[in-house]
Amino acid sequence: MIPTIEWHGDVVRMIDQRKLPGRIEWFVCRGYRDVIRGIRGMVIRGAPAIGVAAGMGLALAGRGIRARSYQAFKKRFGEIADRMLEARPTAVNLRWAVERMLRLVEEMAGRPVAEIREALRRESEKILAEDIAVNRKMGRFGSKLVPDRSTVLTHCNAGSLATGGYGTALGVLRSAPVFTRSIRPARLRGPAAVSAHPATRLRPR
């Protein structure tokens, strides 16, 4: 499975969802401003995926802050966190991720700035790993509720592209034909499309 978003060395890259389904292109983020552009420009979509992006964006921000003292670092980091929140004010996961990263900086009061930078990177990786783990658990529980040969209608963006890489409602479904009504892609005109997706029924592991 191609990841929705990931660390690639020292940069963050995300699938540019504006180019789908015609081709797969990576949108590369070398700094937090690139992540903000990606969120605002709908390069990445879906609340869980946006939360992961925010965490990674703030880790990039921490790496770019040139402050030497903890207080100077914290002040600048807080300013950037406010800008990240403005990227999508209604996104609940974005705010949750930003507050989590701010809390980490608070908890590391007085520690060397280099150590804080490393901790922010690790925390962003945890946010991604936890999102995938939660979705897999949701899939295990949800699969028990779906009878064989079912047809299930899901609304909104519920596949792997909306998350860190696994999917919420669509993470449950793997065998029956599944009809999904999704948010309109950037280039689609008219009513939201309804499409059938073959799937394999998810079994508990």
CATH number at residue 30: 1.20.120.420
- Answer whether residue 49 is part of any domain: yes
What is the Cα–Cα distance from 76 to 72, expressed in whole angstroms? 6
Q: List, in order, residues 6 or more apart from 97 with CB less than 8 Å away.
A: 51, 52, 54, 55, 58, 127
Same domain, 134 and 59: yes
- Write the pLDDT tens digit of every residue in 97-127: 999 999 999 999 999 999 999 999 999 999 9
Spatial distance between the Cα atoms of 82 and 114, rounded to a whole number of angstroms: 22
Cβ–Cβ < 8 Å for 61, 123: no
For tokens 């300013």, what's the residue?
79
Give me the half-sphere count of Cα atoms (radius 13 Å) on the Cβ side of residue 137: 6
What is each CA distance from 195 to 113, 137, 150, 178, in whole angstroms?
A: 50, 26, 16, 8
CB 13 within 8 A of CB 5: yes
Question: In total, how many domains does the chain have?
Answer: 2
Q: Based on the fold, state whether residues 83 and 165 are members of the same structural domain.
A: no
Token couple for 12: 């963050």
Query: Which among 87, 105, 138 is the end of a domain?
Result: 138
**Do 71 and 21 fall within a single domain?**
yes
Question: In this model, does residue 201 exceed pLDDT 50?
Answer: no
96 and 125 fall within a common domain? yes
Coil, helix or strand at residue 95? helix
Q: Give the other-Cβ count within 10 Å of 56's Cβ.
A: 29
- Averaged confidence pLDDT in the chain: 85
Say what the pLDDT of residue 148 is. Answer: 74
Q: Is residue 52 part of a domain?
A: yes
